[in-house]
A and B are shown apart, each in its own frame.
Chain A
Amino acid sequence: MRDVGVISFAASGVDRDADHNEVEIIVPVIRQAMADSGLTKPEIGFVCSGSLDYLFGGPFAFVAGVDAVGAVPPIRESHVEMDAAWALYEAWTYIQTGEIDTALIYGFSKGSIGDVHEILTMQTDPYNVLPLWPSATDMAALQARAYLEASGRTERDLAEVAARSQVNAKATPYATRSGDATVDAVLAQPKVADPLRAADVFAGSDGAAVIIIAADDVARRVCKRPAWIRGIEHRIEAHSLGVRDLTRSESTALAGAAAGVADGKVDIAELHAQFSHEELILAEALGLDAAATSINPSGGALAGNCLMAAGLQRFGEAAQRIWSGDADRAVVHATSGPCLQHNLVAVLEGE
């Protein structure tokens, strides 16, 4: 295995960007990540993106994104119709072949132009589920209740996650929901999808995230302390909610074990929890101890869920804390599909 490290990260996010198209949103973020990387464009071996046509409102969202990268002369490029964390996985795999040393990965969306909760319904079974139009929140609330009743946790536990997210997000410039929230203030909110309150449901975000990864000596040359990807794995569960055990996340547990989460102390964990209860389910699946591990110090996706970018942002948030020396070992998680269907886990370490 080659050592591959995260060496640069940039992200943007506002709750509604009425002034820029997707390309205009992506460009400054790519330019920031490139400027910070110490690499020049010809040194980037591969570009891979994550986007979703249903969010864009038409086919081939990623083709528009290429205008932001600059594809003259033609570049090596690929795309996933998923969160860009899976684009990073593809890029990491490509680097392992030895053919390239570096990759730029980006994810973007403008959720504000449509109804993201309805758009996410399009990924459900078209025969027996889509005709009923359960929104992403409706489905998440089914999992929330199943988890609460099985675990003995309470809505106060959810509110604790929601309030902490908002407080932590005060230091995250692209967060769209942050502030001095308290557990009691969250519990005073009406329920939007019983048992979930507004603060338990992710805040929307229009924006982009960019990560640059590099192998071995290239990473060491441009970055004082690369955030090395020591393990990375993803696992998926059945499509139908009714055949899954929604009270736990077996796919996260398996991916975490394969990525080596348990092989050392975890200083921080950036978990792509889009709803409060998901953070609790994920922390259990990964065996994280809240006393030893700072969970979602950035505020996480609850504080701003730029779809197709939010999972990739988790890599950036963890890497920043390794670059700065605040953390030595971090767990990163990204998710895709309703109710934590598909989960990617990585372990990042500083040297």
Chain B
Amino acid sequence: MSETFVAEHALEYPGGYTRSVGPVIGRFLTGLRDGRIEGVRARDGRVIVPPTEYDPVTSDEIGGDDGDWVDVGPAGRVVTWSWVANPRVGKHPLDRPFAFALIRLDGADTALLHAVDCGSPDGIVTGARVAPRWRAERVGKITDIECFTVLADGEQPVAATPRHVAADGAGDADGTDEGAVTSMNSAFRLEYRIPAGAATRRYLNGLAEGRIVGGRAPSSTEVYAASRGTDPKTGEPTSIEVEISDAGCVTTYCVVNIPGLSELAPEIPYVSAQILLDGADNMMFGLIRGCPVEDVHMGMRVKAKWADELKPDHRSILHWEPTGEPDAPYEHYKDNL
């Protein structure tokens, strides 16, 4: 199948989500920023790391009192691990093969997930002693620990370096003057390659030939422009291809005064309209141009303005223009509002 019919799509929120972390996760992240790891004591005495706002057994609120908090680690033992032979660049913590491990830090009763930089699967075993490799630049995120490393017999963990020191040597080395971490930015990007599907491909192929192709189900007389493949009333496949006119009438519309919404309408104001094409029973969405916006009205006859170069792409129809024909009577489109 031609790549023409595959849409490159990314699910991404510019700048990422800003999440409020709350007092408990916030205190944990503040600790990471300052180069230490804290856990919270549950009602049964177990120390939970990373801490939760609730007791995992009783759901009681925990972490509200200073007395609930316990310094843990920084070293601990591997409870279980898996090997990542092909790291996901830009997502995984390390760009070379590494282990993911659940790590029970000294003084903790639950395990923390993190990466272990140990070269090969031979470099790690369950029960191995590991310690964090801290980043110098820490911001209050789990990734302030770059990864863990395996400790040799008798080797001691390396403490976090002071986060930042002013040029004159004065100022606060541990960053505690910045207050607690209260939020974090959570950015992600997921990529997709979305094939058009059979019905949309027929429609797009039609556009490349300057035609508007619709579909109809065998048991129905209703014709759907740009069908997604079924008659939405019955769920029956629109297996019969029907050519539809590139002229019709405006049913309902709105005047857009917000800039930047459509690449096809660089100037505001413009009109977005639902258009009932001759020979179709559903509406197409389109922009109305070629007349002052205040002249656009329900029932106005319009025709597609095709691009000079036609492609299997919705942009082959630039916009819709008035034809000057008499208006369609209300009866014609009253069931399509």
- For A133, list chain B residues within 8 Å (CB): 88, 91-93
A14 to chain B, nearest CB (A): 12
CB-CB under 8 A from A140, the residues of chain B are 82
- Docked Cα-Cα span, A134 to B102, in Å, equals 12
Q: Does A57 contact B (CB under 8 A)?
A: yes
- Does chain B have a CB within 8 A of A68? yes
Over the window 40-69 of chain A, the binary record of Cβ atoms lying under 8 Å from chain B Cβ atoms (1 yes, 0 no) is: 010000000000001001100000101111
Residue B245 at the chain A interface, CB threshold 8 Å: no
8 A Cβ contacts from A119-167 to B: 119, 122, 126-135, 138-146, 149
Distance in Å from the Cβ of A274 to the closest Cβ of chain B?
15
Q: B229 contacts A24, CB within 8 Å? A: yes
**Any A CB within 8 A of the CB of B64:** no
Residues of A within 8 A of B50 (CB): 127-128, 240, 242
A128 x B228 contact (CB < 8 A): no
B154 CB to nearest chain A CB (Å): 25
**Contact code string B95-118 (vs A, CB < 8 Å = 1, else 0):** 000001110000000111111000
A18 at the interface (CB under 8 A from B): yes
A128 touches B25 (CB 8 A): yes
Judge whether B19 is part of the interface by a CB distance below 8 angstroms: yes
The residues in A between 259 and 318 inclusive whose CB is less than 8 angstroms from any CB of B are none
Q: Check B192–A57 contact: CB distance below 8 A.
A: yes
A134 proximity list for chain B (CB < 8 A): 100, 113
Which residues of chain B (114-149) have a CB below 8 Å from chain A?
114-115, 121, 126, 141-143
Q: How far is the CA of A72 from the CA of B190 in the complex (A)?
A: 35
Partner of A127, one of B49, B112, B184, B236: B184
B81 at the interface (CB under 8 A from A): yes
Complex Cα–Cα for A28 and B15 (A): 41
Kindly state the separation between the CA atoms of A28 and B235 in the bound complex, as whole angstroms: 10
Report B91 CB to chain A, min CB distance, Å.
Answer: 4
Q: Which of A175-183, A188-196, A249-257 contacts B (4 or more CB under 8 A)?
A: A188-196
Instruction: Report the bound CA distance from A41 to B235 in whole Å.
Output: 10
Say whether A72 contacts B81, CB under 8 Å.
Answer: no
Given contacts A127-B19, A191-B83, A241-B113, contact A67 B235 (CB under 8 A): yes
Among A18, A20, A119, A142, point to the contact of B102 (Cβ < 8 A). A142
Report yes or no: A18 in contact with B195, Cβ–Cβ below 8 A. Answer: yes
Are A114 and B141 within 8 A (Cβ)?
Answer: no
Distance of A42 from chain B, by nearest CB (Å): 12
B234, CB-defined interface residue at 8 Å: yes
Range of interface residues on A (Cβ < 8 Å): 35 or more
Q: Quick check: A243 and B100 within 8 Å, CB to CB?
A: no
The minimal Cβ–Cβ distance linking A322 to chain B, given in whole angstroms, is: 28
| Structural contact, B110 and A70, CB atoms closer than 8 A | no
Residue from A27, A57, A144, A242 within 8 A of B190 (CB atoms): A57
**By the criterion CB–CB under 8 Å, are A132 and B111 in contact?**
no
Q: Is A326 an interface residue (CB 8 A)?
A: no
Q: In the complex, what residues of B have CB within 8 A of residue A41's CB?
A: 234
Type the 1/0 row for B146-161, where 1 means its CB is closer than 8 Å to any CB of A.
Answer: 0000000000000000
Q: Indicate if the CB atoms of A57 and B188 lie closer than 8 Å.
A: no
Complexed CA–CA distance, A54 and B195 (Å): 16
- Name the one of A57, A132, A243 contacting B48, with C-beta atoms under 8 angstroms: A243
**Residues of chain B within 8 A of A24, CB atoms compared:** 197-199, 228-230, 237
Find chain A residues with CB under 8 A from B184 CB. 127
From residue B196, how far is it (CB to closest CB) to chain A in Å? 7
Task: Please indicate the chain B residues that have their CB under 8 angstroms from the CB of A143 in the complex.
Answer: 80
A27-B235, A144-B82 known; A57+B113 contact, CB < 8 A: no
Q: Does A19 contact B (CB under 8 A)?
A: yes
Contact A194/B121 with A27-B235, A118-B91 known, Cβ cut-off 8 Å:
yes
A324 interface contact, C-beta 8 A: no
Interchain CB contact (< 8 A) of B141 among A31, A131, A240: A131
Give chain A residues whose Cβ lies under 8 Å from the Cβ of B83. Answer: 141, 191, 193-194
Is A27 a contact of B80 with CB atoms below 8 Å? no
Please measure, in the bound complex, the distance between the C-alpha atom of A21 and the C-alpha atom of B203, giving whole angstroms: 13
Nearest opposing residue in chain A for B86, CB measure: A192
Q: Given A21-B200, A145-B82 in contact, is the A130-B11 Cβ separation under 8 Å?
A: no
Contact of B52 among A18, A30, A68, A240 (CB under 8 A): A240
Q: Does B240 contact A (CB under 8 A)?
A: no
How far, in whole Å, are A129 and B49 apart by their CA atoms in the complex? 12
Nearest 4 CB-CB pairings of A with B? A21-B197, A141-B82, A70-B235, A194-B83
Please give the residue numbers on chain A whose beta carbons come within 8 Å of chain B beta carbons, in ascending order. Answer: 17-21, 23-24, 27-28, 30-31, 41, 54, 57-58, 64, 66-72, 113-115, 118-119, 122, 126-135, 138-146, 149, 191-196, 238, 240-243, 246
Contacts A21-B228, A67-B232 aside, 14 further interface pairs with beta carbons under 8 A come to A18-B6, A20-B229, A24-B198, A64-B228, A66-B232, A113-B193, A128-B142, A139-B100, A141-B100, A142-B101, A193-B83, A194-B85, A240-B50, A242-B50
Q: List 27 A-B contacts (CB under 8 A).
A: A18-B195, A21-B197, A27-B235, A27-B237, A31-B235, A67-B229, A67-B235, A68-B230, A70-B235, A114-B192, A127-B25, A128-B25, A128-B50, A128-B112, A128-B113, A129-B113, A131-B141, A132-B113, A133-B92, A140-B82, A142-B102, A144-B82, A145-B81, A194-B85, A194-B121, A242-B110, A242-B113
